[in-house]
Amino acid sequence: MKLLFVADPLESFKTYKDSTFAMMREAARRGHELFACEPKDVMWQRSDRVSAPLRAFTLTGDEHDWFKPKGDVQVTALADVGAVVMRKDPPFDSEYFYATHLLGQAEREGARVFNSPRALRDHPEKLAILEFPQFIGPTLVTRSEADIRRFHAEHRDIILKPLDGMGGMGIFRVGPDGLNLGSITETLNKGGAETVMVQRYLTEIVEGDKRILVIGGEAVPHSLARIPQGSEIRGNLAVGGKGVAQRLSARDREIAQAIGPILSSRGLLLIGLDVIGDCLTEINVTSPTGFQEITAQSGFDVAKMFVDALESAVR
């Protein structure tokens, strides 16, 4: 099968931890042909189909010089490859949004795209949890400073974060003293112009912010608990959190088994549920990671499970 990855430039990959690379390696092992392009390469013109200049490549096995071009770049309709895997890293900005519309047109022309472009738009990573209130802790979504002050007065210890943040960016904690609440609110909501998510601080964060991968509606049996280090409140690996693979708890499985099949039925082949303690905090749909860390520490081959699910989805 011809397998196209729409992703960041191949030259930027950190192959020792990159989940997209793990997918590529497993696909190549099975004999699939690998192609890549960036979202900026995708184009459409009337009387033609959505296409892009595709880079065919092979894997070298070298950690540093890890891929080798195979032939010339060829402009190809996305409907003419076996599957398109959308793996562009966040942020979900205007250009990402436009890319999903182009990929949606490619779907109408016969392309098989994973995750579904429409589902990517319909499930913003912070707000997707609103559909599953039974699994989340106290949460507020608002532009209003007064609402935020009321929420803080009730819960005393809170986390504030922008809706378009990634990798722990822009996350603040305000304790019972309320120190800097006004300044933080103004920074995040830009004087009431932008919406903010506020959640009660979950003390279980010291045990890790668990990333639970769900593939084809089924949970990977191990999560990656991202544990804050030092004085940091964030467990994100991008800000120095320590990743520790753990067997799923009964609560983890309950959350994954309830949400996974629903989102899979909407075209989300791969999602990442973020769970702190017993509470769901985010649903990642754009480019969930953790494949290599979970596999290295647990022995469970996440990339194999993903390519199995991808092959089944395109049959």
Catalytic site residue 234? yes
Sign, CA torsion 129/130/136/139: positive
pLDDT at 238: 76
Report CA dihedral (289, 290, 291, 297) to the nearest 10 degrees.
170
pLDDT at position 71: 93
Residue ranges of the chain with per-residue pLDDT less than 50:
none
- Is 284 known to be catalytic? yes
For 164-193, b where at least 16 C-beta lie within 10 A, e where not — what string? Answer: bbbebebbbebeeeeeebeebbeebbeeee
Nearest by Cα to 54 from 106, 88, 7: 7
Annotated active-site residue 161? The verdict is yes
CATH code, residues 2-122: 3.40.50.20
pLDDT at 293 (0 to 100): 97
282 is catalytic: yes
Residue in 25, 55, 112, 234 annotated catalytic = 234
Which residue reads 């913003």 in tokens?
A: 124
Tell the CATH superfamily of the 127-131+204-304 domain.
ATP-grasp fold, B domain (3.30.470.20)
Residue 166 has a pLDDT of 78
Active-site residue among 88, 226, 252, 293? 226
User: For this structure, is 211 an active site residue?
Assistant: yes
Catalytic annotation on 226? Answer: yes
Check if 252 is active-site.
no
Short-list 61, 43, 117, CA closest to 85: 117
Instruction: Exactly one of 55, 88, 112, 161 is catalytic; name it.
Output: 161
From 18, 26, 252, 274, the catalytic residue: 274
Give me the CATH topology for the region 138-201: Dna Ligase; domain 1 (3.30.1490)
Give the dihedral of Cα atoms 268, 302, 22, 263; nearest 10 deg. 10
Domain with CATH 3.30.470.20 in the chain: 127-131+204-304
- pTM for the whole structure: 0.95
User: Over the stretch 93-118, which tens digit does the pLDDT of each residue have?
Assistant: 999 999 999 999 999 999 999 999 99
Record the tokens describing residue 285, joined without a space.
């749909």
85 pairs with which residues across the strands? 5, 114
Name the active-site residue from 125, 211, 236, 293: 211
> Is 2 a known active-site residue?
no
Q: What is the DSSP letter of 88?
A: P
DSSP strand E in 115-269: where?
A: 139-142, 158-162, 172-174, 196-200, 209-215, 218-219, 222-227, 242-247
**Residue range(s) of every CATH 3.40.50.20 domain in the chain:** 2-122
